[in-house]
Amino acid sequence: MKEAEVIALNSRKLWIVLLVLVVLIGFMLVKYVITSRKGEEEFKTISMEEATKIFEKSGDYVILDVRRADEYKEGHIPGAVNVSNENIRGVQPEELPDPQQEIYVYCRTGRRSKASCSKLVAMGYTHVTNIGGIVDWKGEIEKEDAKEESFYISPITDEIFARIEGKSYKEDCTLEREELRYLHVLHRDQKNKEHEGEMIVNRHIAKDVLEIMKRLYEEEYPIEKIRLVDEYDADDEASMEDNNSSSFNFRFISHTNKVSKHGLGLAVDINTLYNPYVKTVDGKRVVEPVTGEAYTNRNGEYPYKIEKGDLCYQLFTEKGFLWGGEFESCKDYQHFEVSDEQMNQWYPDN
């Protein structure tokens, strides 16, 4: 071969190699654009600044921290739950029981949160928003110290469900278990002694009630007992006679097929013995608990009395709850509930 022919052959080979490379790179680029676009369409992305504005108002959403547990413990956005990116795979995590729930996802820089969002969407979550990295968060940081771990919200795990099934969660219960949340709190009694408390409430008010309980604890507002009504076999009278504070206990409103507010976990009773329920049934005065008769006199001096304007009243009413002490048709001094309007919005079919 002549030298010129060798060069020509080599350059032809080079051209072929180059052509193959260009086609390959092109193919990969197209594929990348398609998949990344697809991902972007399935979840929203907003800035941490926009997210901050959303978190300023209380609402029915979950803030999800997808960093590792040790990173989360060092400090996270207040109220955020932790499921690490590595642990989001295949099955819906227990911490996120409602696939329709509004979920705001973040990590340290925004890389893992994006990956987690894609995985959540693939698992069937419909309202997922990537809010990026906590490095851009300018708000308060919550740390996992002993006290923080004492105030938390949990879904109704199998373990908790076993405690309420057939009791407050009765056989004819029409409310989905997923609509309920378990709260773990601390509270102080009249002697300022600290106790652990447990309460089951509706998911829509879980965050608000937890905040209220935390404030009452911090401000040393006395609450004697916060136990699951199931410890009294879901017997309201027994729970009230023991001055127990509680919320969820499934029941229909008498002679209707409507679920009561306690049946939906949308009402909370506080210090029940000293704040009885006084009503008139068929012209007859009824006091619940029966042992609370002495405390129907609201001018008397006794412990655990709820009064209009006190801290308990303030915190609940600030969050939109109504106090039974202000009802027209009866007086239910222990009772705070969400308005009918709000309930009908959440449960239009009830």
The CA distance from 152 to 158, in Å, is: 17
Q: Which stretch binds Zn ion (CB under 5 A): 91-99, 147-155, 261-269, 288-296?
A: 261-269
Closer residue to Zn ion (CB): 61 or 347: 347
Q: Which two tokens stand for residue 245?
A: 């504070």
C-beta separation of 194 from 188 below 8 A: yes
236 contacts Zn ion (rule: CB under 5 A): no
Residues 40-59 interacting with Zn ion (rule: CB under 5 A):
none
335 contacts Zn ion (rule: CB under 5 A): yes
Parallel, antiparallel, or unpaired for β 102-107 and 44-45? unpaired
Closer residue to Zn ion (CB): 267 or 315: 267
Closer residue to Zn ion (CB): 108 or 279: 279
Rounded to a whole number of angstroms, the minimum distance from the CB of residue 149 to Zn ion is 29
Of 269, 321, 323, 343, which lies in the binding site for Zn ion, with binding defined by CB under 5 A? 269
Rounded to a whole number of angstroms, the minimum distance from the CB of residue 248 to Zn ion is 11
Closer residue to Zn ion (CB): 120 or 266: 266
Rounded to a whole number of angstroms, the minimum distance from the CB of residue 193 to Zn ion is 25
Q: Which two tokens stand for residue 226?
A: 């916060």
Closer residue to Zn ion (CB): 67 or 335: 335
The CA distance from 84 to 106, in Å, is: 10
Site size for Zn ion (CB under 5 A):
3
Vertex 60: Cα angle to 55 and 64 (nearest 5): 60
Q: Which stretch binds Zn ion (CB under 5 A): 125-133, 156-164, 284-292, 331-339?
A: 331-339
The CA distance from 227 to 234, in Å, is: 11
Q: How many CB atoms lie within 10 A of CB 126?
A: 14
Number of H helices, E strands in the chain: 10, 14
The CA distance from 201 to 247, in Å, is: 6
The owner of tokens 């405690």 is 163
Closer residue to Zn ion (CB): 204 or 335: 335
Q: Closest residue (Cβ) to Zn ion?
A: 335
Rounded to a whole number of angstroms, the minimum distance from the CB of residue 86 to Zn ion is 44
Rounded to a whole number of angstroms, the minimum distance from the CB of residue 72 to Zn ion is 36
Q: Across the beta sheet with 331-332, what order do the strands follow? A: 284-288, 277-281, 331-332
Residues in the site for Zn ion, rule: CB under 5 A? Answer: 267, 269, 335
